[in-house]
Chains A and B, each alone.
Chain A
């Protein structure tokens, strides 16, 4: 979606402000919001692309006025309510008011280290071959889905060079909508600064994105 999350090349946000000796979390609630988000992945049954869409799918003004853990928390609440695992009434009351829905598994303390170490690899097997090879010129398609996509606006319509064939990976545009993993070939595509930003662009800059084959067309 062309939402507030798609920030590359947008103006007016001011300077970057690094915080010296920044703590991992700013306050107790950030810790809990973070841990709840990770722990609910297993019983909730959603995937990472659904989580990302739940976070970004809000008015841009709202997205940009929230801290990152506020966005995470709001995304978690959305996912929970969509699946009727909790109700707004329960959050308002701060207590369970309805019986729990059956869930496959919950994250037990004994499984935490194992689950984190395993992660969620997105590489998949295939018998197909990649349509593009390193050195090929490609144009990024001009697509504007209202659903989740990982093709940022600043590269759409631009011509770049395939730098690397990464592998065959889960396609977020499908996975986020529940349409399945629909894996696709994934590439690193490199752009000249001036191709992206015009004559004002820095000629000593190159930018790459990782892009799935459905985003690309031969030039």
Chain B
């Protein structure tokens, strides 16, 4: 826990840099720690978990495996929670996961119009835009407009299916495997899987995007 303690000490010399919110968060942490309700070492571990361990590379491994292994793909689409747990990813905000298959005729996109529901074990914590009013308001009413904001243009006759995460089901989009990746192993395939392609606001990279 030395990291944040050190930061606190450092910043104590210059309160002018700290916003009201920063000061209030620090004040509350001190109060809760002094009262014995939180252990600062647990806070450090929680932060480290979502900064370093749990993030969209987990989801990329799931998608790459689904691309490379037809039996796994079947299990994932049938019941995603245990299929994802096979790779060791489970738990908070991913207790009940459903995988959504993109096809040439159907594009899936996930939103939470009411708050910020997002499949943490496979994607980590949501980006700011996912939690923002522009995305939450327009994803359900003008998905093609939202995709334009992301630089994505789909064929006019592709059906767009929006999944509003209003309950505790968390959705993971399985994008289409890019062409020109025949024979690639899972590790290499995973490099093509972007976070946004698993939300439905992006597409996977193509082989030439990652060619050095």
A, B: real partners: yes
Instruction: Show the binding face of A for B, using Cβ within 8 Å.
Output: 5-11, 13-19, 22, 24-29, 31-36, 38-40, 43-44, 48, 52, 55-56, 64, 67-68, 70, 73, 76-77, 80, 85-86, 90-96, 100, 103, 106-109, 111-113, 115-123, 150-152, 154, 166-167, 169-170, 172, 186, 188, 190, 196-197, 201-202, 204-212
Q: Nearest chain-A residue to B161 (Cβ)?
A: A206
B68 in the interface (beta carbon within 8 A): no
Contact with A along B18-43 (1 / 0, CB 8 A): 01011011111111101111110111
Given that A8-B113, A32-B25 are contacting pairs, would A212 and B162 also be in contact in the complex, using a CB cutoff of 8 Å? no
- Cβ-defined contact, A39 with B115, below 8 A: no
A85 near B49 with CB under 8 A, answer: no
Contact (Cβ within 8 A) A31 B47: yes
> In whole angstroms, what is the CA distance A9 to B162 when docked?
13
Chain A residues with Cβ under 8 A from B169's Cβ?
166, 186, 188, 210
Contact status of A94 and B39, CB under 8 A, knowing A13-B138, A15-B134, A16-B146: no
In this assembly, does B7 line the interface, its C-beta being within 8 Å of a C-beta of chain A?
yes
Question: How many interface residues does B have (CB within 8 Å)?
Answer: 80
**A119 x B95 contact (CB < 8 A):** yes
Is A39's CB under 8 angstroms from B46's CB? yes
Q: Flag if B39 contacts A108 (CB, 8 Å).
A: yes
B residues adjacent to A (C-beta < 8 A): 4, 7, 19, 21-22, 24-32, 34-39, 41-47, 49-51, 55, 90-96, 113-116, 124-125, 127-129, 131-144, 146, 149-150, 156-169, 196, 201
The number of A-B residue pairs with CB atoms under 8 Å apart is 268
Q: Which of A24, A39, A121 contacts B124 (CB 8 A)?
A: A24
Known contacts A19-B127, A121-B95, A166-B169; A29 and B25 CB within 8 A of each other:
yes
